[in-house]
Structure formats: C-alpha cells, structure tokens
Amino acid sequence: MVLHNTDMAHVPEGDASVPRPAQERGDPTWIAPALTASDKTRNVGKTNVFFGPPLAILADGQNNTLEISGKLNRTAERYLEILKHHGLELSAPERACLANICHIGFMSPLEIEELPFEVTMTRFECEGLDKAALATKLEAASFADLVAVVESLGF
C-alpha cells in the first residue's frame, strides 16, 4: 500500500506507527537536507592560485587540472589533519612572546625551526613569561608541533 499526502490527513502529527511518504526530488514537498560544515567546504568554486615554487614542486608531473586539484586538495586535507594532532599547550604570555617573534611576517620553515633560539634572543618581556622554559619546550617539540603553533597564531 502506498500512502499519499491526502491519505495522511487523518493521521495525528507525530504518529510514528504510520510511515511517512518518501520525499524525493521532484516531489513538491521535498526539502533539501541541511549541509553539514564539511559539506559546505567541499565545493568552494574555482579560484586563481599563484603557483610559487612549493606548489610547482608539489604539482610536478601532474598533467591536467583535475590531477593538480586532486593533489592540492589531498595535501591540504592531510595538512589540516596534522594541525589537528599537533601543537603545544602554551600560556598567554608564551603565545604573546611567539606572536611578537612571528610578527616579522612570513615564517619560512627555517625560521620556524629557529623559534627556540629566537625566544632566547628576543627583548620581548611580559608578566609571567619564562623565556628559558619556553625555549626548552620549543626545543623538545617536533617540527609539526612548531608549524601548528605558528599556524594557530595566524602566521
């Protein structure tokens, strides 16, 4: 037996014992499901991207835009996962010190690796900052942890 909207008129709202009609595209009562946050980020449209040396190296050997797009998106997805699983617990004074150091602008991989040394050399001071302890914490961190810290600071 197939139920139609007119057959449901006598069924009280919320009666779970009676199946509701299947709503599909084309059905005037069909409502598109809400997009999840991950669904919204899946289709962001086309954009022009400058291929500097790192992207050119990453895409080397790819023959068409779909291959290049796939490679970039896989790499970005993996990078975002790395950021989720790495980083350091930092106090507000420690974050302020690192933000001050990072304010030089673009942080190259070499500059990120040198953060522990930069902490010992900076003139930045604030209440609650122990530069020696911060430098030690940074020296013990992996490169992925340091990158995650720099990213979390917005650099």
Q: Locate the domains of the chain by residue range.
A: 92-152
**Residue 63 buriedness (CB in 10 A; 0-12 / 13-18 / 19+):** exposed
Residue 91 · residue 83 · CB < 8 Å: no
The 10s digit of each residue's pLDDT in 124-133 is 999 999 999 9
Distance separating alpha carbons of residues 126 and 109, to the nearest angstrom? 27
The 10s digit of each residue's pLDDT in 68-111 is 989 999 999 999 999 999 999 999 999 999 999 998 778 899 99
Return the higher-pLDDT residue of 45 and 58.
Answer: 58
| pLDDT at position 130 | 97
| pLDDT at position 8 | 46
C-beta contacts of 138-146 below 8 A and 24+ residues apart? 138/88, 141/88, 142/86, 143/109, 143/112, 143/113, 144/82, 144/86, 145/86, 145/87, 145/88, 146/112, 146/113, 146/115
